[in-house]
């Protein structure tokens, strides 16, 4: 059974034999909700590549201490994948973030597409962005990721175009595209960007803008996927053809 993972601010300088104390909400959930006990083994990570294995030596309501037995420094997964996710309605945004995190994306970028039903403004934008960040954090721990993903601030179309232009390979998922996703040549390294449109679909102007900046409009197949699941399907198809998944 894979050991549970907990997030800590830093593991810099930590060596086998060192004690690490976890505090705050992270510790409270582990001790009070999950009923963490002295003697249990677990993983600690800073979400930036360092993962420590250790044994719990002490617990309190909002803290626990781990004696570290091993530390691993994991390289950042390559190629790196960024998914631009148009804002979906309801809780589908958190679903998209969850599955994209589980599959290993490096960044999720919420995007205010022209036909997005949801609107992030003011206090709602702050709350929604925080929800996406919390969802990514918990999903990364569940997936035992050494590198946790970033959830960037809400992007406008011109900012997405900039991300597309900077990528080594960028694709826009579009049901009317003629180019199949599997026909693309992929680098073993570099930056991949996948743009996922909203429930109402992409506008012709949006597709044209991204293509002008270097993206390729692609289709996944005959089926039309929901915006909350299209991204994970596309990323899985891409990763299967890279060294990350043995491609």
pLDDT, residue 140, reads 98
Start-end of CATH 3.40.1280.10 domains in the chain? 80-245
Task: State which fold the 80-245 domain adopts.
Answer: Alpha/beta knot (3.40.1280)
Give every CB contact of residue 225 below 8 A, 6+ residues apart in sequence: 233
Cα–Cα distance, 91 to 29 (Å, whole number): 23
Start-end of CATH 2.40.240.20 domains in the chain? 5-73
Nearest Cα to Cα of residue 242 among 169, 173, 180, 178: 169
pLDDT, residue 247, reads 58
Cα–Cα distance, 35 to 182 (Å, whole number): 46
Here the tokens at position 93 are 């945004």
Is residue 78 within 8 Å of 147, Cβ to Cβ?
A: no
Centre a 10 Å sphere on the Cβ of residue 226 and count the other Cβ atoms it contains.
14
SS3 231: helix
DSSP assignment letter at 16: T
Give every CB contact of residue 244 below 8 A, 6+ residues apart in sequence: 77, 78, 79, 104
Mean pLDDT, consecutive 10-residue stretches, the chain (247 aa), reads: 92 97 93 92 97 97 96 96 94 95 98 92 93 97 98 97 97 91 86 95 96 95 88 95 84
Cα–Cα distance, 99 to 205 (Å, whole number): 29
Sheet bearing 19-23, strands edge to edge:
5-7, 41-45, 50-60, 63-73, 19-23
Nearest Cα to Cα of residue 214 among 139, 162, 176: 162
Cis peptide leading into 79, omega within 30 of 0? yes
Question: For 5-73, which CATH class?
Answer: mainly beta
Specify burial of residue 10 (Cβ count, 10 A radius: 0-12, 13-18, 19+). exposed
Nearest Cα to Cα of residue 199 among 105, 110, 124, 118: 118
């Amino acid at each position: 059974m894979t050991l549970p993972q907990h997030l800590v601010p830093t593991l810099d300088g930590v060596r086998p034999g060192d004690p690490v104390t976890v505090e705050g909400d992270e510790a409270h959930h582990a001790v009070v909700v999950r009923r963490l006990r002295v003697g249990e083994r677990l993983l600690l990570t800073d979400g930036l590549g360092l993962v420590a294995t250790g044994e719990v030596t002490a617990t309190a309501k909002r803290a626990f201490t781990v004696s570290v037995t091993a530390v691993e420094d994991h390289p950042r997964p390559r190629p790196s994948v960024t998914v631009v996710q148009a804002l979906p309605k309801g809780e589908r945004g958190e679903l998209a973030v969850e599955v994209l995190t589980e599959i290993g994306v490096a960044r999720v970028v919420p995007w205010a597409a022209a036909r997005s039903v949801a609107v992030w403004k003011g206090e709602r934008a702050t709350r929604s962005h925080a929800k996406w960040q919390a969802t990514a954090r918990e999903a990364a721990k569940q997936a035992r990721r050494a590198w946790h993903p970033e959830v960037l601030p809400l992007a406008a179309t011109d900012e997405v175009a900039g991300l597309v232009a900077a990528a080594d390979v960028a694709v826009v998922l579009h049901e009317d595209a003629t180019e199949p996703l599997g026909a693309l040549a992929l680098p073993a390294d570099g930056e991949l960007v996948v743009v996922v449109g909203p429930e109402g679909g992409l506008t012709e102007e949006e597709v044209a803008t991204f293509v002008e900046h270097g993206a390729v409009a692609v289709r996944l197949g005959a089926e039309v996927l929901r915006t909350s699941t299209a991204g994970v399907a596309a990323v899985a198809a891409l990763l299967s053809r890279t060294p990350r998944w043995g491609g």
